[in-house]
Amino acid sequence: MKGNRQPSGAAGRIVLSVILTIGIGSMAQAQWEYAAPMPAPKANTFAVTFQGDVYMVGGAPWVNGGDMDGSVYRLSNGDWTMAAPLDGMGPAVGQGGGVDALGRILVFGGEIQGSGDLAESRVYEPIDGTFGIPAEASLVNPRLNFGLAVDDQHRIYRLGGGCDICNNNQSICSRYDAVTDSWEQIAWLPWSRSSIAAVYDGRGHIWAFGGYTSFGLPRLIHTIRYTIETDTWETLGSLTLPMATSDARAVLGADGNLYFIGGLTGDGPGTPTSAVYVLDPNATEPSWTIGPSLQTARYDFGVTLGDDQYIYVIGGMTTSGPTATVERLYTGAVPTLTGDINGDCAVDIDDLNALLGAWATTVGVGSPLDPANDDGFVDADDLNLVLANWGAAC
C-alpha cells in the first residue's frame, strides 16, 4: 500500500470502513487467463485464426482408425469442437502452416511418425478436410523444427530447422506464394539454427529469436531480423534475449508489440519456462520488457492472435508431458473505466490511495484525480464515484 496521506474527519472514517468491508485486493492489468481446454493434449504442431475461429491443426490424438490421421480442434464462441481431420496425411508430427493468399489453410512439413518419411503438404478446410495438393518446398528444407511466419501478403515462410540437439541444423529459408503455387528460396539465416521463434511485425520485417545452433546446444540468445524488401538478414547484437531459449513461440499482438513466449531454457534437455517478453518493433531503439508470465510453463505449443485481440497459447509440452490447457492474453485497446484513476483497468485500492493522497487539493480541470465532476478539486464527489465503481474491471 502506498504511503500517501489520509483524509481526516468523517470522510476518513467512511473510507476506512469501506476498505475493511471490501478488502484491498486488486485486479492486475493484462494477465494470462485460462480459456477452455482442448478435448485432448496437443503439442509440436501449429495454430491459426481462420474465418473468426481459432484452430489447432494436426498431430495426435490420431483419428480414422489404422490410418492414424492428424486431428484438428476448433475454438468457437469459447468452446472446442472437432473439425475435419487431416484425411490421408497419416501420423505426421512437426507440421507447420498458415493461412495463404487464397484464404486457405496450408499444411506442410513434418514427418510420418514411425517410418520417418517426409509428410506431404495439403490444403485444408475445416468442413471438408484436405482437398488439394500444393507445391512442395525443395527437399533441402528441413522437415522439422523450422521457424514459421506469415507476412501481410499471406506468403508463408519456413526458416532454418533440423534435428535440434544434433549436428545438422540448417540455415536455408523459403517462402510460399499461393498465387503462383510455388516456393522460392530467400536469403539464408546468418547462422544455421533450428526451433527459432519467428514473427512478422506488420511493417515489412520478420524477426527471429533464440533456437539451437548448427550443432545443437547451447541454446541461442540472439535476435535476427529479415527485411522483406531487400531480402537481407541482420543480427541485432544489442537486442539479445534475456535468457537463451529454444522451442518458444513469437506472435504479433493487436497492440503492435511482439510477444516472445515460453520455450526451453538452461542446459541439456532444458526446463520449460513461463516467461514472456515484449518488444515494440517500431521503437527507435527496441528493447525487451518483461511481460505477464504464463500460468503454465510450456514449449512447442500453438500460438495465434484471435480476432478478439487475445493471444491464444494452446497446448504444448510441460514438465508433465503434453497438455490440453489453453491460455489467452488480451492485447487490444483498454477501454475507459469510470473510477480507474491510474489507468490499470481496475477500480481498486491503488485508485483509492491516489485519490486520498491528493485529498482536498486543487489538481486542475481534466486531471484523472478529479473523475466525478471535473471541477479541478479532489473532494467527496470524487471519492463517492470511486467507491460506487469499486471492484469494476475491464
Instruction: Please state which CATH class domain 33-330 belongs to.
Output: mainly beta
Residue 7's pLDDT is what?
Answer: 41
User: H or E stretch including 198?
Assistant: strand 197-200
In angstroms, the CA 64 to CA 68 distance is 6
CA distance 48 to 57: 8
User: What is the predicted pLDDT for the residue at 5?
Assistant: 35
Which class for 379: exposed (0-12), middle (13-18), buried (19 or more C-beta within 10 A)? middle
Domain coordinates of the chain in residue numbers?
Answer: 9-28+335-388, 33-330
Report the C-alpha gap between 131 and 102 in whole angstroms: 14
CA atoms within 13 A on the CB side of 393: 11
C-beta separation of 26 from 349 below 8 A:
yes
End-to-end CA distance of the chain, in Å? 22
Exposed e or buried b for every residue in 210-236, given b needs 16+ CB within 10 A?
bbbbbebbebbebbbbbebeeeebeee
Query: Does the model's pTM come out above 0.75?
Result: yes
Give the integer Cα–Cα distance in Å for 12 and 18.
Answer: 10
Q: Which of 274, 248, 349, 276 is nearest to 27 (CA)?
A: 349
* Rounded-to-integer distance, Cα 301 and Cα 84, Å: 21
Rounded Cα distance between 193 and 90, Å, is 28
- Can you give the pLDDT at residue 334? 65
Residue segments in the chain with a per-residue pLDDT below the cut of 70: 1-29, 334-335, 364-366
pLDDT at 343: 77
**Polymer length of the chain:** 394
Q: Could you say which of 3.40.50, 2.40.70, 2.40.128, 1.10.1330 is the CATH number of the domain covering 9-28+335-388?
A: 1.10.1330
Read off φ and ψ for residue 128, nearest 5 degrees: -90, -10
Residue whose C-alpha cell is 485500492 = 349
Q: Is 112 left (phi over 0), alpha (psi -120 to 50) or beta?
A: beta
CA distance 47 to 315: 10
- pLDDT, residue 377, reads 86
